[in-house]
Amino acid sequence: MDKFGFLSLGLIGGSIAKAIRASRPNAHIIAYARKQSTIDEALSSGVIDEGVTQIGSSFYDCDLIFLCAPVAVNNKFLEQLKGHISDHTVITDVGSVKGTIHNEVKRLGLSRQFIGGHPMAGSEKTGFANSSASILENAYYILTPADEVSSEAVRKYRTLVEEMGAIPLILSCDEHDYVTAAISHVPHLVAAALANLVHDHDSKEGTMKLIAAGGFKDITRIASSSPDMWESICMANTENIADLLDDYIASLTDISRAIRNKQAGYTFDLFTASKEYRDSFSNAPRGPIEKLYGCYLDIPDEAGAIANIATLLAKAGISIKNIGIVHNREFEQGVLQVTFYEQEALDEAVTLFQGLNYIVCQRE
C-alpha cells in the first residue's frame, strides 16, 4: 500500500497520517479537509503530499482510504467515494461503533473493499494540531473486515497497523460493538449518572463537590468527555448498550437488597471478586478509555512549594496537564497531584522528582 487517502484530518486522522509518514516515508498521502488551513498545516509539516477540499477523482488510485469523521459523516463519505475509487482501493474508518457503517457498506455494494478500523486511543485534545504518531503506540487497533474483502487486503492492513506501533486485533463488527459497549460506552454512562447523582443529592453549600476526590474523581473522570460525541455513540450502539445497562441495573438492585438486609459476606465476596479481576488487568494504556498520566508528591506546606515544582518541570521541558493540592487524601498518598499528557512526560517527571529526593507515588 503506497498511496493513502484521508477524509478528515482531526486528532485520530492526523495521528494515523503521521504514523504512516514515519513508518513509510516514501508513501504518497492525500487528504480531504473542510478547512484550507488544516490542509496548509498538514502540507507545511510534511505529513501529506496533497490536500483537497472536494472529494473526487483525486482519490481514485489510493490503496487505502481512511474515513476519520463521526459515524454519520463517514456514511456520507462512503456514498461520495463510491464513484471515485478503483477496484483495488480498500476503505476503512476509525469509528468506535461498527455496525452502522458495515450496514451502509453492504447497502452500497462495497463489501469487497471495506475493513472497519478502530484505533483504541485518543485524547481530550482535538484537531490536527494536537495529533501525534505516539498516540497509537501500544494501543489496540481493532479491524472488522467485511464479509467479502480478501484475506490479502486484511493481511496488508494488519501489517500497516503493526508498523504504526499499534496492536492489531481482528473481530467481527457485532463482537466489536458488544465489547466496546461493555468496556467503554456503558462506563461513560455510569460515570455520567454517578456525577449527576452526587450533583442532585448535594447540599446547597456544595459540600459533596467540595470534598469529592480520590475514588469518586477517578470513576467519574470520563464524565467530562464530549457530550456530542457520546450522544452519537449511544444512538449508534443502542441495543448493546441498553442490554448491558439492564444487566448492570439488575446487579445494582441485588447489591442494594443485600446491603439493606445486612446480608453478611455479600459485599466482601463482591469486593474480593472485583479486586481479583481488576488487579489482573495490564497497566499498559491499550484500552478505549484514556489513561490518566499522573503522580502524587509529598511537599511541604509552605509558600512557593507548588511554584517550585512547576518551575522544575518547566526547566526540564516537561509539559503539565494539571497540578493541584489534594485536600481529600482518603485514597491518595501525597499532598500534590501532577498530571501530564503522555506516559513519556510522566516517566521523565518521576525520574526528575526522585532524583531530587521527593517522595513520589503512582497509582495503577
pLDDT value for 331: 45
Q: Quick one: fold of 176-279?
A: 6-phosphogluconate dehydrogenase C-terminal fold (1.10.3660)
| Strand pairing class (293-297; 90-93) | unpaired
CA distance 96 to 295: 29
pLDDT value for 363: 66
CB neighbours of 106 closer than 8 A, spacing ≥ 6?
Answer: 146
Please check whether residue 328 is in contact with residue 213, taking contact to mean a CB–CB distance below 8 angstroms.
yes
Considering only CA atoms, which of 284, 231, 224, 248 is closest in space to residue 96?
Answer: 231
CA distance 47 to 292: 28
Cα–Cα distances (Å) from 236 to 60, 71, 233, in that order, read 30, 8, 5
pLDDT value for 248: 96
CB neighbours of 76 closer than 8 A, spacing ≥ 6?
Answer: none
Q: What is the pLDDT of residues 26-61, one digit of tens each?
A: 999 999 999 999 999 999 999 999 999 999 999 999
Q: What is the block-wise mean pLDDT of the chain (364 residues), using blocks of 10 residues? A: 91 95 96 93 96 92 94 90 93 94 96 96 79 86 96 97 94 96 94 93 91 76 82 92 97 96 95 90 60 78 80 91 66 69 89 89 70
pLDDT value for 327: 54
Please check whether residue 15 is in contact with residue 132, taking contact to mean a CB–CB distance below 8 angstroms.
yes
* DSSP characters over 224-269: GS-HHHHHHHHHHSHHHHHHHHHHHHHHHHHHHHHHHTT-TTHHHH
Q: What is the pLDDT of residues 254-286, one digit of tens each?
A: 999 999 999 999 999 999 999 999 888 765 555
pLDDT value for 227: 86
pLDDT value for 328: 46
Domain positions in the chain are 3-171, 176-279, 293-361
Beta bridge partners of 168: 141
Sign of the CA dihedral running 91, 92, 95, 96: positive
Between 3.30.9.10, 3.30.2130.10, 3.40.50.2300, 3.80.10.10, what CATH number should domain 293-361 receive?
3.30.2130.10
pLDDT value for 343: 84
Q: In what order do the strands lie in the sheet with 293-297?
A: 322-325, 336-340, 293-297, 360-361
Q: Give a three-class secondary structure readout of 128-188.
A: HHHCCHHHHCCCEEEEEECCCCCHHHHHHHHHHHHHCCCEEEECCHHHHHHHHHHHHHHHH
Question: What CATH number is given for 3-171 in this structure?
Answer: 3.40.50.720
Cell of 126: 482535538
Please check whether residue 128 is in contact with residue 42, taking contact to mean a CB–CB distance below 8 angstroms.
yes
Count of residues for the chain? 364
Q: In what order do the strands lie in the sheet with 140-145?
A: 115-119, 140-145, 167-170
Q: Please check whether the two domains, 3-171 and 293-361, share a CATH topology.
A: no
